[in-house]
Amino acid sequence: MSGPSFIDNRDGNTFAKAIGRHLKGLREAGESSEELCIATGYFTAAGRLRVAAEAERIGKVRLLIGAEPRPGTEMSPRQPGDSKEPERTKTQVQGVLNGQVRGLKTERDQGFDFHPDDLGRLKRLLEFFRSERVEVRHVQDKFFHAKAWILRGCHPGVLAGSSNLTAAASNITGAVPGTA
């Protein structure tokens, strides 16, 4: 394996493709990693499925997932021209609800269409997470926005960048150790 490869999203140079190539290259050379440790601020099934084919072949996977940031709970200060109460509060609450619906729709639409073929992939994903080979922890008491992939074994390496384990983030930047 050569030095690090930088992922810049140009010409299909995405994180999901690069980490898949790297893990496959190690496996085909008979040098698979023994363990993959992932720290991610966010996780979606679609993101996991983008790297599942090779990641599922690793002996052990440890996943540390952050908590979804909570929207502010305080009302914004009243501004000149704001509606009177209770209309002002109704407007703010509706704005928050609309934002949450937009966020859910965006997440739903990013890379996972729920076709019949994908249902089998989802079942395989569930089986993988229920296996003894996977350890998952969830940070709930504070904001956790780390992004790192650590490979342990005969060819250890670290990937650091802006690579959450989501469908959208599989197309972001970072660096993969020892890839050409």
Q: Encode pLDDT of 114-171 as tens digits.
A: 566 667 777 887 888 888 888 988 887 777 877 888 888 887 888 777 767 766 655 4
SS3 10: helix
Q: Average per-residue pLDDT in the chain?
A: 75
Quote the percentage of the chain above a pLDDT of 90.
1
Instruction: Tell me: pLDDT of 88 over 80.
Output: yes
Percent of the chain with pLDDT over 70: 72
* pLDDT higher at 165 or 112: 165
Whole-angstrom distance, CA of residue 160 vs CA of residue 148: 5
pLDDT in the model for residue 173:
42
Q: What residues contact 26, with CB distance under 8 A and at least 6 apart?
A: 1, 32, 33, 155
pTM above 0.75, yes or no: no
Query: Which has more pLDDT, 60 or 44?
Result: 60
Residue 177 has pLDDT above 80, yes or no: no
Contact 136, 129 (CB under 8 A): yes
3-state secondary structure at position 7: strand
Closest CA to 145 of 49, 72, 65: 65
**What is the model's pLDDT at position 180?**
36
pLDDT band at 174 (very low <50, low <70, confident <90, very high): very low
CA distance 83 to 81: 6
Could you tell me the two tokens for 77?
């200060």
Domain at 5-69+94-176: CATH code = 3.30.870
Q: Which of 8-12, 81-85, 101-105, 121-125 has the highest mean pLDDT?
A: 81-85
Task: Assess whether pLDDT exceeds 60 at residue 33.
Answer: yes
Helix 45-55 and helix 116-130, axial crossing angle in degrees, nearest 10: 70
Q: What is the mean pLDDT of residues 58-73?
A: 74
Q: Which residues pair with 61 in a beta bridge?
A: 36, 134
Measured from the Cβ of residue 160, the count of other Cβ atoms closer than 10 Å reads 14
Distance CA 43, CA 65 (A): 7
